[in-house]
Amino acid sequence: MAFTHIWNKRDLRCKKVILAAVLLFCFILPATGQKTVLRENYTKYDQKKIRFGFFLALNKARYKVQHSRDFTDQVSGQSSSGQPVPGDDRKIAVQAFPSYNFSLGFIGNLKLHDNIDFRFLPGVGFYRRGVEFVGSDILKKPIKGGREEKVVESAMVELPFLFKFKSNRRKNVRMYFIGGFKQSIDVTNDKDEQTDPKEIFRGASSDFSIEYGFGADLYYPFFKFGPEIRFSHGVNNMLVPDQSAYARAINRMTTHTVTLLLQFE
């Protein structure tokens, strides 16, 4: 209970930080573009073939849940065996809920063209995604209090490979679009801590996702700052097919993430 309270407080702080960062982005960009600039900052940056940096990121992550046939049969009022399901057992729901997380890492940038870069951003992300089960009974599993949350916590080593398509530089501002893919590997060692087969609910140890987004490069005298919004859609089924009622209620579970990155190069 105490852990949940602490995590909820952290979520609230993350929401405030994300809102402040987005507002800062909105104010900085117009101000940078409107200000009369006598000279371009950090011109040697664009001349380099290989560049390095680091990033900090905040994200909103959740699972996208596809219900199993057994669960939809229970909701529709008929079990897979053809027997009717009591009305009270049909007042159920299985739904994912979002959480706020953070990540950090390094930036490697290879210049392919004046307007195209290849980027590799290895990093570590700390995630907490969950699914809420609502109802008195789900697949013959009584739900205490009518509501229960199953949470999957993970520390992911993330390896994004991205192509960056940039506009021409206008004074000290450059807009861009970015896209590619990311491989993620869970390095936590708590997969075997859940021992009760009736309660177990686990996430897979690796994920592959498609990523795309947009941002702006803001040039300062000694560095380049790049705020970016990136969207990530997981391809792999992250559900471990255990035999608990929680796992059997779901057929497929993929990741969906929206990230605000603050990049320094």
Give the predicted TM-score (pTM) of the model: 0.81
Q: DSSP per residue over 133-194, as a string?
A: EESSEETTEE-GGGEEEEEEEEEEEEEEEEEEEEPPPBTTEEEEEEEEEEEEEE----TT--
Dist CA 254 CA 190 (whole Å): 20
Report CA Rg, the chain. 23
For residue 180, the Cα-to-chain-centroid distance in whole angstroms is 15
Q: Strand, helix or coil at 201?
A: coil
pLDDT, one tens digit per residue, over 129-153 is 999 988 777 777 777 778 888 899 9
For residue 16, what pLDDT band results from cuts at 50, 70 and 90?
A: low
The residue-averaged pLDDT of 185-213 equals 82
Query: Could you tell me if 89 and 76 are in contact, meaning their C-beta atoms sit under 8 angstroms apart?
Result: no
Q: So what's the pLDDT on residue 28?
A: 53
